Chain A
């Protein structure tokens, strides 16, 4: 495997609704920051790959306008995934393995504010048998949370603790949207919005964007004092129908973590893309982090503090890499998810030199 590292990361501040700026206008400063901080001249970056979803913007080819934000002239080597930017990073990492290029710009962006996100996401379901029922994203996550509570030792109190911890940690994150002190006991007195989920169990709805610059081998060492090396990265998908899965468990996360080599040593920091508190517990169980001995879970506050769709997974990789590059962590795990009830999962292991 060729050594490839995250050498730069930038993100916008997540907000509930940015009524003024369109996606390109949100993206431009983020991309400029990421490229400027990488120390690699933008014209020398070998490949660009982005992640977004047309259904958020409610228009076809929404990603085309992203190209205007990178100034693709002269023409660039470029690709796009209809998924979170974490999968765009994966595509770029695959290309970097061939050795022909030494750097790549990856970005992900999404404005959820134009529509009703929980309804928009129902369009992600089997169009013949599931989507006509309009099971919204929160109701599906509630089914999953119920399965978790009924078939494991986990409790509603743990859910509230995850929410409280996420908001508390997010106070130190200037890009977070939902921050502050919360008492789990008080949270448990809140009403359900879809039993057993309360409002604090659900990620906020966000507009935002993120960008990462990858560099290989010597170039990474040249431009970064402490590159965050990708020691392993893998992604796996599960069956689509919630009814044929054990929703309380995430075998695809486990498989991706094994392939990425995540389980072979201690993890200092884990950034998990869990838009619901219950999903964090499921992911931690899959990753052997149920009792995080020495592992700091979501120090950024995670998706429960800021959840710009199609960027939030890439942000997990960026946040984990930042902690490796700063020396705060030596070995970090980043996770991204896609689809209903954690259907698809990606695990990335980052290490210092």
Chain B
């Protein structure tokens, strides 16, 4: 098995509507930056792995076929992954296996969503025979999970607001972030309209156009990039059924199993002390404390205390989403890969204003569907 390294990272400026670029232009912006960071050209790439969420978000069926030219994939293998909201993460995992298997030396992986092409709320609300329609969008789906978390953990009401403020403060330090709210404050979030109790408007992710790209290589090419490589220390995916009665949607077993798998690969026995920072998929503010528990950073029922004590702030002991996270930019199909890429940027020391001092070991996390698809990786500045 080959060691896998991240040697190039690129992302677009994320925005409500990137009307200045086509879908091809969007993915190419991210991919070009990743190649540039890796000191590589299109011809250096052996295979391309593309991910995005449902095709109805752009209204293009299997758009990777149309993007083959823009991604320099012609004449090469091109694989398209789709695992719901976790897809950005699982796409990076598939790309990592392309290298780890020894089959490919330099793989370009790209994830994107150009949500302005369509309407995600509409795309998520089809009328399917014998199934309830999800006309309330993702927030309406997840709000009951959050209420159940608050009930179980006896969490105070203000935790979600704190997360929303923290991630937007972090986002202001990230030049690629979509939302920039200079006057963000506890009061501003608290007074924003309640959309799906207990989720307020400013506790929601935006709807973004954006893309993320990475170049993964084996150890032969690992040190040729503009920055030191991020070594992939473990990757894991887990899925569980949507409709199984009795599954715990608040603290899903698939997430716990996925974390246990990736920690075992990376030699992590105590994530709270060993992991320097994590980029986790938080589309609604309350998912920060929920995932802190699911990921084993805090015992069940106490994740909110880490948020409340400032542990998860950029200058805290365990920074969560220093990039501003999904709450600051959410091109859905790319959001998972952005978490993976931002984790790698931190251990490569290339995160700029939102760099966590001394970051050496970082977790990237993505989830999707009805809290049922999980993808994670751990990256390190140290070669395994």
Contact = CB atoms under 8 A, between A and B. Distances in A.
Contacts, number: 181
Interface string B100-140: 11110000000000000100000110101100000000000
Contacts of A53: 55, 61-62
A290 B74 CA distance: 25
B98 A94 contact: yes
B128 A76 contact: no
B62 A80 contact: no
Contacts of B98: 94
B235 to A, nearest CB: 10
A127 interface: yes
A124 B238 contact: no
Given A238-B74, A240-B66, A78 B237 contact: yes
Contacts of B79: 81, 83, 87, 90-91, 235
B62 A74 contact: no
Interface stretch (A59-67, A157-165, A217-225): A59-67
B238 to A, nearest CB: 4
A255 interface: yes
A68 B243 contact: yes
B65 A237 contact: yes
A95 B101 contact: yes
Interface string A228-266: 000000111111110000000001100100000000000
B383 to A, nearest CB: 18
B1 interface: yes
A336 to B, nearest CB: 13
Nearest to B53: A60
A74 B126 contact: no
Given A54-B54, A79-B237, A127-B60, A252 B68 contact: no
A55 B55 contact: yes
A237 B100 CA distance: 22
B254 interface: yes
A240 B62 contact: no
A135 interface: no
Contact of A83 (B62, B123, B240, B258): B62
Interface of A: 22, 53-55, 58-61, 63-65, 67-68, 71-83, 87, 90-91, 94-95, 97-100, 120-121, 123-128, 130-131, 234-241, 251-252, 255, 338-340, 343-344
- For the complex of A and B, list the 5 residue pairs with the smallest distance between their C-beta atoms, beginning with the closest: A60-B54, A75-B254, A97-B101, A55-B61, A78-B239
